[in-house]
Structure 1
Amino acid sequence: MFGWLIRLIVSLLDMLRETLAPVSGESAGKFLDWLSWRISGTHKIQRISSSYKGLDKMRRIEECLVNSNHQELQNFRNYTNVSELSAAIINAKEIVPSKDPEFIARIDTTFHPMCEINKLTKEATTLKRTAYDTDNEEHEMMLLSLWNSLKPDRELEDRISDDWGDIGFQGMDPATDFRGMGILGLQNLHYLAKYKKTGAQLLLASNHPNYGFSLAITSINLTAVLMQMLESGLLRNHFYYKCCHGGSRCLTIKDLHEAYCSILSDFVKFYQDRKPATIMEFNSHKAAYTELLKEKLLSNSPVLEAVE
């Protein structure tokens, strides 16, 4: 009979929490969450699940988990299985499934995107930590394929060669340049060169007489920016948007390569538009671009534009 009144009061309390949060501090927010729970019998994460959609919903759920008193929920990025994550939440919050069957029915759609991003992050981190191995035939074949994709009309003189400098590596053996980003640095650049027209365009842009840059080294630098955004959580917004707004339900390493292509292409345009006096200004421009990228990923339109 009084269900509508309880929902109204709890809704007003949630609105009050959001309004006061920036000035009242964490303790006041937790008190209002506790009061809402006592009145309604539902936890904040249950109410978010039913009241919000898309990117806004995922951002609020992450904030709720990060601020949880339960360590296993604070570590939600370790979960790659929806059943395990939802079980941890249900157990920690002591949610009785029979009292909120609608929440239980929404579990898969609510937490699937989160687990997909967690899996992608773990895969990318593994690739980053996997060193380039000159004895690994797959690594060597990918490196040669990179050359053939960027220089289709010119045969590589030798595996160890000054030729590598023509596509932006620092020395005669490009394997040494992948130390920071591991095999992920090679996979990103190889994907760009083999599958994107933009690869050839960026190589041409790298030879600009006044605002040129080393394509391979710049690529590895932007792979580092990509991983910084992924590991800090900012890139999650881009992937949440893709998962929740008509994009693919599942994420693969290809999705990360696509994000890398977008970031590298965008950075090159940013860099050359700023007309650097010398290549020595590269790091300062990269830092400025990184800040702009952070702002975009924190905005309500965090999707990185696809490149051809």
Structure 2
Amino acid sequence: MKHFLRVVTQFFVFLYCKCLWRGLKFVARKLTGRCELQRICYNNKHGARRTLKIESSLRCSKNALLQSALSVHPDKVEKTIEDIMALKKINPDTNPQLGISLQASLLQIVGYRKLVGEVEKLRREQYDCENQEHEDMLMKLWKELRPDSPLTGRISKQWCEIGFQGSDPKTDFRGMGLLGLSNLLYFAEHDKTTALQMLHDSLQPKHNETNSPEWEQKNIDKAIGYSFAIVGINITDLAFSLLISGALKTHLYNVAPETPSLRDLQQTFCYLMQEFQRFWVDEDPSDIMEFNRVRSKFHRRILRQLKDLDTALCPHFTASDLHLVNL
């Protein structure tokens, strides 16, 4: 009986709060002469603060047109904005900035949804040795990371030099598919200095002042830091989970002026790789067996960052690559 009364009480409290909220919105419109979308656009700067509020307003609306605006095709955004302004009886000639702001935010919203589908498709595409495009990407990754060391064969233990687990990298791409390879290649091409430094650091055995010469000689070829390529695939998984959960909206709504693209996600991957390197060093794990613990802790730190609506996870590209960030 007590449980039933508690449920009933919670229901009526919810109903009361909902009615109160709608009443406050009605009063706000009467006092300001502006609808909720107008107030959001005029009172919030462009980026996550504005777009997340617009997204919430459209989702909570009872109007079918406003709800459907969240899933329109990017090509129909402009027409949707016209329909919304007509529905709200807003004159576009006297409110030109409103239409521009709504369009930018709606492009971010539907673009994020489109990006999720694009990334999921790439993740599901498995590496295929018979696909020449896949093979070319893999060979290019080797050349970017090992420019002075020719690969002796497609199947070779040399792949372990850049952090794969065995002599055929395709087996390591099973979890993240072609997304893992494309991210690694983007990092190697667009932030090459950092990628090469990370690879170099990952291959160094961890010593301390108490290590004896005998211990060092025994472990000189054993890098107990991390495996570069495997870490890249793991960080790809982390970026993917942030995207799918919606946590990455804060960042992408702040850095993408309109429609977020795959390149935006790849630049986010670069940032995560750079930051994970620093985090790993700061954590100073005793061996690779602590990788999952460090990764989980790093994941939680990124999630905390993304709760700040002004967050932008911008990679620290080298000077020659800075122009790519702002294209």
Could you state the TM-score of these two structures normalised by the residue count of structure 2? 0.76
Closer, same or farther in 2 for the Cα pair 1:84/1:105, shift >3 Å? closer
Bigger Cα Rg: 2
Are residues 1:239 and 2:232 paired?
A: no
Distance of aligned partners of 1:302 and 1:89 in 2 relative to their CA distance in 1, 3 Å threshold: farther
1:37 matches 2:26: yes
CA pair 129-307 structure 1, distance change in 2 beyond 3 A: same
Contact residue 226 and residue 260 of structure 1 kept, 8 A: yes
Partner of 2:169: 174
Task: Say whether the 8 Å CA contact 2:77–2:106 is kept in structure 1.
Answer: no
Q: TM-score normalised to the size of structure 1?
A: 0.80
Alignment correspondent of 1:183: 178
Matched, 1:28 2:17: yes
Between the aligned partners of 1:136 and 1:200, the Cα distance in structure 2 is 27
Aligned residues with identical type, % of pairs: 32
Q: Distance in 2 between matches of 1:203 and 1:280?
A: 19
Distance 1:30 1:230 in 2: 33
Aligned AA for 1:200?
A: L
| Contact map agreement 1:86 1:107 (CA 8 A) in 2 | no
Q: 1:278 offset after TM fit, Å?
A: 1.7
Equivalent positions of 1:1-308 (< 5 A) are: 28-29=17-18, 31-37=20-26, 40=30, 43-55=35-47, 56-69=49-62, 78-81=71-74, 83-84=76-77, 87=80, 94-98=87-91, 102=95, 103-104=98-99, 106-196=101-191, 197-210=193-206, 212-244=225-257, 249-308=258-317
Q: Which has the higher contact order (CA 8 A, sep 6+)?
A: 2
* Alpha-carbon distance between aligned partners in 2 of 1:83 and 1:292, rounded to the nearest angstrom: 37
**Count of aligned pairs:** 281
Q: Which moved more, 1:28-37 or 1:278-287?
A: 28-37
Instruction: Give the C-alpha shift of residue 71 in structure 1.
Output: 7.7
User: Does the 8 Å CA contact 2:160/2:167 hold for their aligned counterparts?
Assistant: yes
Provide the rounded CA distance (Å) in 2 between the counterparts of 1:261 and 1:274: 20
Gaps of 5+ in 2: 1-12, 207-223, 318-327
Question: Contact 1:132–1:139 (CA<8 Å) still a contact in 2?
Answer: yes
Instruction: Provide the rounded CA distance (Å) in 2 between the counterparts of 1:71 and 1:272.
Output: 52
Query: Are 1:169 and 1:216, in contact at CA under 8 Å, matched by a contact in 2?
Result: yes
Give 3-state SS (helix, strand or coil) of 1:217's partner: helix
